[in-house]
């Protein structure tokens, strides 16, 4: 294949052609409706030039290509998704939203096995305070506590099935924290580590992570696979509506 030393601009219709290329891919998602980010644009252009032949740098404008945006969990833009060849198709190696130039470089280094997995930002948006001024965090549940905490709960419960090695799980963790804070007293937000609690994960047929299940009155009301903050909020709001 030819060596590209500038980013490839692609779209919903042609992204699969880009993903079919043999090189590792750094996919940058931007939104043309937002103010131009010259420092980040310069960093992406520099990466494409310096890493030509080692990594394929691609860009997608999510304003015109919502399908691609949704397929990667509607990450807050600007965002990066790094991809490597998997057993079938492409496999996401790392991803992050609200990135800066340093994030772009760090994720590409990780893609090329030249650096550690970048640490997700924990302060992308300010957390609201609980009514009494205290901080509310998601509760950890296990196989043994799942029934009492989740199935017997008097309020709806959002369960985050996650694992420590899961990049998308870490990416969406700050949003899960915010939801726990915002809906404290009305909805429980809990986390279950699937590696340590396989019985419950198998019981509810959790096959990929992150998976979110919304329980009400001991029954699954909604299921979401993947890191999509907007869907999580919609799930919670749905659980607060009167039962039909």
Which residues have a catalytic role annotated?
166, 169
For residue 189, give both structure tokens: 């937000």
Nearest to 192 by CA among 218, 164, 216, 156: 164
| Beta-carbon contacts of residue 224 (< 8 Å; ≥ 6 apart) | 211, 212, 231, 232, 235
Cα distance between the two ends of the chain: 57
For residue 62, give both structure tokens: 């999510």
Looking only at the bridges linking them, the beta strands covering 157-162 and 211-216 are antiparallel
**DSSP codes, 83-143:** EEE-SSSEEEEEEESS--HHHHHHHHHHHTTSSPPPPPPS-SSPPPPPTTS----PEE--T
Spatial distance between the Cα atoms of 188 and 124, rounded to a whole number of angstroms: 22
Find out whether the peptide bond into 210 is cis, omega within 30 degrees of 0: yes
């Amino acid at each position: 294949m030819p060596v590209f030393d500038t980013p490839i601009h692609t779209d919903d219709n042609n992204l699969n052609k880009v993903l079919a290329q043999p090189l590792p891919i750094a996919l940058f998602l931007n939104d043309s409706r937002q103010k131009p980010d010259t420092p980040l644009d310069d960093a992406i252009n520099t990466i494409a030039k310096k890493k030509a032949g080692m990594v394929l740098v691609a860009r997608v404008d999510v304003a015109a290509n919502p399908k691609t945006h949704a397929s990667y969990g509607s990450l807050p833009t600007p965002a990066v998704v790094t991809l490597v060849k998997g057993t079938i198709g492409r496999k996401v190696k790392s991803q992050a939203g609200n990135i800066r130039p340093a994030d772009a470089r760090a994720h590409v280094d990780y893609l090329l096995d030249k650096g550690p997995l970048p640490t997700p930002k924990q302060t992308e948006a300010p957390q609201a305070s609980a009514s009494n001024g205290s901080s509310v965090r998601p509760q950890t549940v296990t196989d043994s506590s799942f029934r009492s905490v989740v199935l017997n709960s008097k309020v709806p419960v959002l369960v985050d099935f996650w694992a420590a090695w899961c990049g998308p799980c870490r990416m969406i963790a700050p949003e899960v924290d915010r939801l726990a804070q915002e809906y404290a007293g009305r909805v429980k937000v809990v986390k279950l580590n699937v590696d340590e609690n396989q019985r419950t994960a198998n019981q509810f047929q959790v096959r990929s992570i992150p998976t979110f299940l919304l329980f009400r009155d001991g029954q699954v009301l909604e299921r979401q696979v993947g890191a999509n903050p907007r869907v999580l909020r919609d799930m919670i709001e749905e659980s607060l509506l009167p039962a039909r």
